[in-house]
Structure formats: C-alpha cells, structure tokens
Structure 1
C-alpha cells in the first residue's frame, strides 16, 4: 500500500534551463565557425608575415576553448540531469562553466593589455591590406556567432503567465550564465576585431602605428569589465547567494505571512537557469500541513523546489 501513498510525494530534480537543447546545438555550431576562422587566420598570418593575424588566430583559440567548456557543461548537465548524486540536479553546472569561462576572459584581457603595452614601446610594422581583410572576415564570423548565441528565450518562453510583481526582472532570473559566458567571449572577439580594424585604418591613413596598441588597451579594459560582471553573477549562484533584485524573497513573504503566521527562517537560492529552491520555516498559532503552504507558493514560477517546516507559535 505504501507505494500509492508516496507516489504523489516524490519529484524529480531536473533544473535545466528552458532552452538547454537549443543552446547546446548552437554552441557546437559556433565552435565549428570559430575554429575554422582561427585556422584561416593563423595560416594567413604566417603567409603574409602578419604577427597581428597570427596573434589574433591564437587569441581566437582561447575563445574557442572557453566555448568548448560551455558545450561540455551543457552535454554533461543534460546526461546527468537525473543522476541522484547531484542532489539538486545539474542546473548549476552552467554557472560553474560560466565562472571558469569568465576567468579565462579576464586572462585574455590581461594578455591583450600586456601585449599592447609591449607594442606601444616597440611598434611593429603591419601589412595593412591583408590584416584589414582578415580582420573584417573575423568580425563577420563573430557577428554571426553572436547572433546565434543571443539569449532571447526570456521573450518568447514565459512571456505569457506572469504573476510576478517584478516583470522587468524576469529576464535576469532565467538568464543562462553558460550561454552568456560564451556570448561574451564572442562579443569580446568582435570588439577586438572592430578596434583592430579602426586602428589599422588609422595606421594606414595617417601612419599612426601607436593606434593599434592603444586600441588594444581600450579593448582589454572593456573585456575586464564584462568579465568582472560575469564572475560576480556566477560566483553568487555558486555560493548560493540570495538572488538579488528579483523580488523573489518579497513574493514568498507576501504569499506566506498571513495573520499571525510568521516566517522564522528563509533560504532562497538558484539551482539552475530560471529555477530556484527555497527552505521555509513558519511559526503559526494554528499550524497547517506543509502542503497548504506549498500551495500558496504555487503561483511563483521561479520556485522549482520548496521545503516547508511548520512550528506551533
């Protein structure tokens, strides 16, 4: 008989993002694009004797590596989504990958910055025509990749039923940090291509050899800023920080605190893109069953796993 009584009480712990499969496919496509462009740049640079192109090719390889981290995280999270060893599922793997990727992004920025300072001191002769041609090709590949990796699911997935008091924060808490990290790598690459093209045009027209390293320093600063934002956000998810600015805690309090019922302890954290878990302790003069309190929270879409503890007040 016991099987019947517990059947409705068990649940799964699959907290993958809404677009997990789609994002995974797109990242593999972008890796293929980036890798082929990278090989083309290294070959072209070697043939035309352009150190800048060879350097850009190797720089692209670091981005391809970061995207490989993202792709592997997606496939691992998908394969192990129902593995009982992951007590809260594999939804946070994307944040772990995003965190690692953000560190790589910061290192790339430091390398670009350092290389630029070295070149400011010792300007390098540049074969402008070929360098500009390949930089433009690189930019096109990056823009195509960025378009493939844009995170647009906030707009077509849960746009309809939104009972949240804070609809404008909605995109924030369904954000897939694994995809976002890959997107920032592509964007960083596109930014360095744009700056390189600008610097090469200036260098060709006015003979300003310093423009190239100067743009490198600017690019490095912008990339460091992106990287820091991503490190803060993914790090917060990894250490189970209370999701900020989402009104989730306020929504939970509003749903549960009625009359003399008080929340005495509340833990809220993210377990995957768009998925949160909560542990709530309630003190009540007339304690009800935990299922009653869970029912009051059912309308909050972002809550995927709730544990309720009730004590008589």
Structure 2
C-alpha cells in the first residue's frame, strides 16, 4: 500500500568523492599487501609480515566501505527503510571496527609467538619493502584525509545541525589506513634497531605495541557507532532543554530523540497540553532544536489524559 508523504524520509549523506578515493586506496592497498606478505615470508620479518596481512584485512574493510556507500546510494529512495539508508554508513563503520579489532588480536598473538620463537631476518631487503609500504600508506592517508575532515556533504534535508557531520564509514577507512601507516613505521624502526644493534626482539615488541594502539582505535570507533545502531537517546541535557521549552504550555509524557543516520536525529514526543496552542504552534515552538530533522508530536488535552 502506497502512502503520499509531505516530505521524503531520506536522511542519507552520500560522500561521492570519499567513495571514489576509497576505491583508489583499495587498489594501492591490494598491491602493497601482496608485496609485503611475500617479502615478509622470504626475508623472515614478523613486523613486515604482520603489516602485509594487516593490509589484507584493511583491503577487506575497504570493500565493506565501498559496499556501504553503494548500497546506501542504490536504496536511498527505497520505502522499505523507514528513515532511509543513513545508518548503512554507520553499520559499515562498526563492521570495519570489528575487522580492525581482529587484526589487533592476531597481530598481538603472533608477535608474542615470535618473541619467544625468533626467526632469522634479512634486514636490508625487509627495510626496503617496509619503506615502500610506508610510502603507499602515507599516500593513501592523503587521499582520504581531506574527506575524513570534510563535512560539506550533500543532504536530502537542508538543516543546520549544531555538530559536525561524521561519515563513520569514511572514518573507519581512514583509521584502517592510519593503522597501516603506524605498523609500517614500527616495522621500519624495529628492523633498523635489529640491524644495527642486534635487537631482534624489538621486531616482535613493535608488533605488540602496534596491536595495542590499533585496539584503542577500534574501541573508539565502536563507541561512536554502536549508540547510533542501538537508537541511544540524545544526551540528557538536550532532552531537558526540550522539556523546559514546553513546560509553560504542556507536560511532556514521553520523549525520545535518537539518531537515524550518522548526524540526523528523529524525535517522538507525547505531551499533555494545558494551553490553547495548536499542534502547528507546538511544532513551531520546537523549531529552534535544529538537531531534530524529523519530528513526530502527539498532543493530548489535559482532560483527555486524565480519563
């Protein structure tokens, strides 16, 4: 059954440039991954091998990022989604965070194994390949960096939000590249110290340090995305401001304000009115709360609520 709506329920901010740059980074990552895995195996460097497999998992994460972008764009007008596909980007970011966490665990475990079971390392060759990996990672960071900090996306609704527009999908891709850059840098440091000072154990130790840092980034990204996926209410202070704005004219009986995309909020409010204000006037009263992009307001007269 089709319903005519006064406005579209689509709150998706599609970052076309971010999608295109992510594809380029994916290609760079795939090539470097193959080179580092082969070189790490041949030259016996755990840091280099870990970096290669690490990049492999990031390549998979970039595929998730691209899929999320294209799925959201394809289904932007699909009425099966109550508030559009705004959460697809958030889900992509959360899924990538899980992949990032798995990488950290595998890296940490393998590094501990290599710490107690060291292998011979061909330092010159390994350092050369690690530098190539670092160069590719830095280039990838620059490809994504402008868009990671760029919040001027196109929106289906023109609203002024009192916060930055976070593309969690792109942020996840950026963190994967940042993690690659870190592990490449740590690999180079470990190999240099191993070559000149004989500190072979540093190769494994750097792998452990990198895993811990990546784990921290994973938790940060999950903390940002999981509340959106779980429809967590907006902060108590903002809800209290809504209650206080309505207080002179009505009593709030039910109030929910939650994210329906990475940066759009929906509100469902039930009030008991003790004034002669109309529904339209109450909505106008709430218009100053510009974080709310979609408002469902239910007004009951005081007498009706008491029966």
Match of 2:239 in 1: 249
Whole-Å Cα distance in 2 between the matches of residues 262 and 163 of structure 1?
27
5 Å matches for 1:1-313?
10-17=6-13, 20-45=15-40, 48=43, 52-150=47-145, 151-154=148-151, 170-171=163-164, 174-244=165-235, 248-254=238-244, 256-313=245-302
Q: Distance in 2 between matches of 1:20 and 1:163?
A: 18
Instruction: Give a deviation string over 1:187-220, Cα, whole Å, max 9, x none.
Output: 1111111111111111111000010111111111
TM-score (norm 1): 0.85
- Between the aligned partners of 2:118 and 2:44, the Cα distance in structure 1 is 15
SS of the counterpart of 1:215? helix
Unmatched 5+ stretches in structure 1: 1-5
Q: Deviations over 1:285-306 (max 9, x none)?
A: 1253333222233344432111
> Considering only aligned residues, what root-mean-square deviation do their CA atoms show, in Å?
2.6
Aligned pairs, number: 296
Question: Are residues 152 and 278 of structure 1, via their aligned partners in 2, closer, same or farther at CA, if it must alter by over 3 Å?
Answer: same
Measured after TM superposition, the shift of residue 41 of structure 1 is 2.3
Structure-2 residue corresponding to 1:3: none
Distance in 1 separating the partners of 2:159 and 2:75: 30
How far is 1:264 from its partner?
Answer: 2.0
Instruction: Report SS of the residue matched to 1:89.
Output: strand
Inter-CA distance 43–112: structure 2 relative to 1 (3 Å threshold): closer
CA–CA distance in structure 2, aligned partners of residues 156 and 87 of structure 1 = 22
Say if 1:241 and 1:269, in contact at 8 Å, map to a contact too. Answer: yes
Residues 244 and 121 of structure 1, relative CA distance in 2, 3 Å threshold: farther
Between the aligned partners of 2:265 and 2:17, the Cα distance in structure 1 is 22
How much does 1:74 deviate? 0.8
- Which deviates more, 34-43 or 84-93? 34-43
Pairwise CA distance, 1:307: 0.6
Alpha-carbon displacement from aligned partner over 1:22-51 (angstroms, at most 9, x marks no partner) = 221221121112112223323444665656
Give the 3-state SS of the residue equivalent to 2:9 in structure 1. coil
SS of 1:283's equivalent? strand
Query: What is the CA distance between 1:270 and its match in structure 2?
Result: 0.7
**8 Å Cα contact 1:14-1:81 kept in structure 2:** yes
Further displaced range: 294-303 or 54-63: 294-303
Q: Deviations over 1:50-99 (max 9, x none)?
A: 56544432321110101110110011011101100011111001111111
